[in-house]
Amino acid sequence: MRHFPALTVDELALELGSRTRAIEAIKWLYAQRPLPTALPDDMPGVTHRVWKPFLARQKLITPKVTERQESADGTTKYALDFEGTNVETVRIPAKGRSTICVSSQAGCTRKCTFCATKELGFIRQLKAEEMIAQYLLARSEAPAAQPASNVVFMGMGEPMDNLDEVLHAVDVLTQSPAPQLRHVSVTVSTSGVLPGLKRFLAESKASLALSLNATTDEVRAQVMPQTKSWPIASLLEALREDAARRANKRDYFIEYVLFGGLNDTDADADRLVKLLEGIPSRVNLIPYNPYPGTGLETPSPERVMAFHARVVKQGLLTLIRWPRGREIAAACGQLVLSRDGSGFSPLSAPA
């Protein structure tokens, strides 16, 4: 059974017996600051006669905030507890908006070498309620001048391994009257799980981020073992076909973590340009965030700039994403690391 806040307007209208009441209840939820921990005894716009029995069978899923860390650049990392399951969510402020990075699983089954989350193993799938609740919590704390208008499913977990719940969460996040995010402002990321990627492209209008991180299967398999099942060419072909089918109406982000001496050569830059031919993509170059024990290195700023200049010169739309919130371990691939980077936070460790 679905619970607040993952009920669609249609589902809520069935529960409350009217679409108008459903809209009033959703508007109420998104107007609350701070985020309430339970549904109220009375809901404005819904008669007590209807609301009381609804309350008896429904609840509002909200997390307990067990820790909140803010970095100098305003990035805030939340350690959240959903009845004993710990996940992390990050709010990233920018000019005029905030982006909320949500987790789709507690832990992960994938084994990307560079990622701290994999150390947790797999704990459990998150429900759509829990994904939306992460957004709601972070949204309720976003400054008025930087509203939470963007969501990225790039926290803990591989979204394609929990796709039913992710797709439902996207539907709710983009529904009217609230929060009514634009599909283009909701981005679902994948490490390259081809069956899920194909289904996502067929069923959702949201943006897609592919974590590519190498230009040959051999190197990619070193950092992302699932490459052996789904090689680079098969992933990019899925994007190419989708771009043709949708007449380039979707944003494709290619995430490319630069590892010093592994995937940051001029030859890699040239291969990357060739690989992305025919895909209307935007490339994010992400200098690797250090994580002890991986044997992977951060490239020098000069190498990052040279790689960037080389792909831009060949026509790739490319940005360098210098890490945000590095000192609180809220940057890409660092969720579950402790503040000083020396181990795992007891707040984040598996129960």
Query: Applying CB under 6 A, which residues contact ligand SF4?
Result: 108, 110, 112, 115, 117-118, 156-158, 191
The DSSP letter of residue 60 is: B
- Residue 88 falls in the annotated catalytic set: yes
User: Which conformational region is residue 52 in: left (phi greater than 0), alpha (psi within -120 to 50 degrees), or beta?
Assistant: alpha
Q: Is 277 an active-site residue?
A: no
Catalytic one of 88, 158, 165, 255: 88
Distance CA 344, CA 179 (A): 34
| E strands present in 73-215 | 76-82, 85-94, 97-101, 105-107, 122-125, 148-153, 186-190, 207-211
Instruction: Give yes or no for a contact between 91 and 75, defined as CB atoms under 8 angstroms apart.
Output: yes
Please say which residue, 159 or 299, places its beta carbon nearer to ligand SF4: 159
Least distance from ligand SF4 to the Cβ atom of residue 23, Å? 36
CB of 214 to ligand SF4, least distance (A): 13
Residue nearer to ligand SF4 on the CB measure, 12 or 156: 156
Q: How far is the CB of 22 from ligand SF4 (least distance, A)?
A: 35
CB of 137 to ligand SF4, least distance (A): 20
Q: Rounded to the nearest whole angstrom, what is the least distance from the CB of residue 238 to ligand SF4 in the complex?
A: 17
**Cross-strand partners of 252:** 208, 281
Find tokens 């000069």 and name the residue: 302
Cβ neighbour number for residue 205 with a 10 Å cutoff: 13
Whichever of 46 and 79 has its CB closer to ligand SF4, that residue is 79
Q: Which is nearer to ligand SF4, 115 or 311 (CB)?
A: 115
Token pair 């979707």 is at which residue?
250
Angle between helices 266-275 and 301-313 (to 10 degrees): 40
Residue that the structure tokens 């909200």 belong to: 62
Largest CA distance in the chain: 69
The nearer residue to ligand SF4, 149 or 284, going by C-beta atoms, is 284
Shorter beta-carbon distance to ligand SF4: residue 4 or 291: 291
> Collapsing DSSP states into helix, strand and coil, what is residue 326?
helix
CA distances from 11 to 1, 41, 320 (A): 11, 20, 42
Nearer to ligand SF4, 112 or 273 (CB): 112
CA distance 103 to 196: 17
Q: Are 299 and 259 in contact (CB under 8 A)?
A: yes
CA-nearest of 92, 94, 68, 91 to 81 is 68
Enter the DSSP assignment of 224. Answer: -
Distance of CA 40 to the CA centre of its chain: 30
Spot the catalytic one: 101, 108, 115, 332: 332
**Whole-number minimum distance, CB 11 to ligand SF4, in Å?**
30
State both tokens at 19.
């679409």
| Least CB distance to ligand SF4 at residue 321 (A) | 15
The catalytic residue positions are: 88, 332
